[in-house]
A and B are shown apart, each in its own frame.
Chain A
Amino acid sequence: MEMTTLAAGLAIGLGAIGPGIGVGLGVSKAMEAIGRNPEASGTLFLPFILGLAFAEAIAIYALVVAFVLIGKA
């Protein structure tokens, strides 16, 4: 049982690393773009949110796996 709990913690902990880096890169580039061209913030918003959704989805998979593991414990 302890091992399953550990597995759940590791699943979300390790699973969040990649998406964290990805979201950070995305936001940094978007901020850079808005800083250079503030008028573009309106057109940037939707593609930006969609891009973040793809990165974030990976973390959500890890979270679902963690929930399933916790449910088994």
Chain B
Amino acid sequence: MEISLQAPVVFYLGSIPVTSTIIAAWLAIAVLIVVSFMATHNMTLIPGKLQNFIEFAIEGLLGPCEQFAGARGRAFLPIVATLFFFIVVANWMGILPLYADYDWVHHVDWTADHTGPLRSANSDLNITAAMAMIVFVWVHSTFIRVNGLWAWIKHLTWGPPPVLELISEIARPVSLALRLFGNILAGEVLLLVMNSLVPYGIPIVFMAFELMVGIIQALIFAMLTLAFLAMATTGHGEEEHHGASH
């Protein structure tokens, strides 16, 4: 079994290569747009089933936002909830039968009937790294907006060895991206191996496990984003937040 971390290119758009993970990501976005349109196009005071469910999910995320960031929490909800919903939908869609583009095993016979045209969006480091970079820029621009440029420079050069905080700030997006990518890729490989060992019945258990991993990883990504944002907006230096970085 040979594993390539790079997603296969499906076609070229001009000179831009379009990989199977990009298509999977846009499919997840399309599902999100359709569902949120259906949930909000005629909202009622007494919510219907779909609207009720979406309200439940949003309120479930608003709780931790206000718990971590207090009065500012509501302002953080858009980015946190967007990341959470995109990641969870992309992860769960990755379990569907169509998402089985195991290009790394094409030359192995037993996977011939498991292959499909797509691959789970977050099993591509490019996508998770892009999200981590968005979070990185967002957190630091929020820091500068709230505390000012001088406080930001002071924050980055804080501590006995001045580079310590800088390294920790750079390590954050790296670990954020690698954590999600590694978990989802490991899940894909796990399902593949289980499918090859016991093709019937048993993989269902692991698919259920992957559903759980999918939502927990989405929750972790969103909550870490929230924690970074909360740290960036509370006054720095004297509190406990230096211990809880990366």
B216 within 8 A of A: yes
- 6 other contacts beyond A60-B182, A71-B104, with CB at 8 A cut-off? A53-B220, A57-B178, A61-B178, A71-B3, A71-B4, A71-B5
A49 within 8 A of B: yes
Q: Is the interface of B mostly helix, strand, loop or mixed?
A: helix
Contacts of B219 in A (CB 8 A): 49
A33 within 8 A of B: no
Residue of A46, A53, A60 with most partner-chain B CB within 10 A: A53
Q: Considering the complex, which residues of chain B in the window 182-226 have a beta carbon less than 8 Å from any beta carbon of chain A?
A: 182-183, 185-186, 189, 216, 219-220, 223-224
Docked-complex contact A50 and B224, CB < 8 angstroms: yes
Annotate B1-15 by CB proximity to A: 1 below 8 A, 0 otherwise: 111110000000000
Q: Considering the complex, which residues of chain A in the window 40-60 have a beta carbon less than 8 Å from any beta carbon of chain B?
A: 46, 49-50, 53-54, 56-57, 60
Contacts of B216 in A (CB 8 A): 49
Contacts of A73 in B (CB 8 A): 2
Residue of A with least CB distance to B189: A67
Q: Beyond A57-B178, A63-B182, A67-B185, is A50–B5 a contact (Cβ under 8 Å)? A: no
Docked-complex contact B183 and A60, CB < 8 angstroms: yes
A64 within 8 A of B: yes
A10 within 8 A of B: no
> How far does the alpha carbon of A63 sit from the alpha carbon of B104 in the complex, in Å?
17
> How far does the alpha carbon of A13 sit from the alpha carbon of B225 in the complex, in Å?
30
Q: What 6 A-B pairs are tightest by C-beta distance, nearest first?
A: A60-B182, A53-B220, A57-B179, A64-B182, A57-B175, A71-B3
Docked-complex contact B227 and A50, CB < 8 angstroms: yes
Contacts of A71 in B (CB 8 A): 2-5, 104
Residue of B64, B67, B183, B227 with most partner-chain A CB within 10 A: B183
Contacts of B175 in A (CB 8 A): 57
B181 within 8 A of A: yes
Residue of A with least CB distance to B221: A53
How many Å from the CB of B207 to the closest CB on chain A? 20
How many Å from the CB of B127 to the closest CB on chain A? 15
Annotate B217-244 by CB proximity to A: 1 below 8 A, 0 otherwise: 0011001100100000000000000000
How many Å from the CB of A63 to the closest CB on chain B? 5
How many Å from the CB of A73 to the closest CB on chain B? 8
A70 within 8 A of B: yes
> How far does the alpha carbon of A57 sit from the alpha carbon of B178 in the complex, in Å?
8
| 30 A-B pairs in the complex with CB atoms less than 8 angstroms apart | A46-B67, A46-B223, A49-B219, A49-B220, A49-B223, A50-B220, A50-B223, A53-B179, A57-B175, A57-B179, A60-B179, A60-B182, A60-B183, A60-B186, A61-B178, A63-B182, A64-B5, A64-B178, A64-B181, A64-B182, A64-B185, A67-B3, A67-B5, A68-B5, A70-B2, A70-B3, A71-B2, A71-B3, A71-B4, A71-B5
> How far does the alpha carbon of A49 sit from the alpha carbon of B227 in the complex, in Å?
13
> How far does the alpha carbon of A63 sit from the alpha carbon of B188 in the complex, in Å?
13
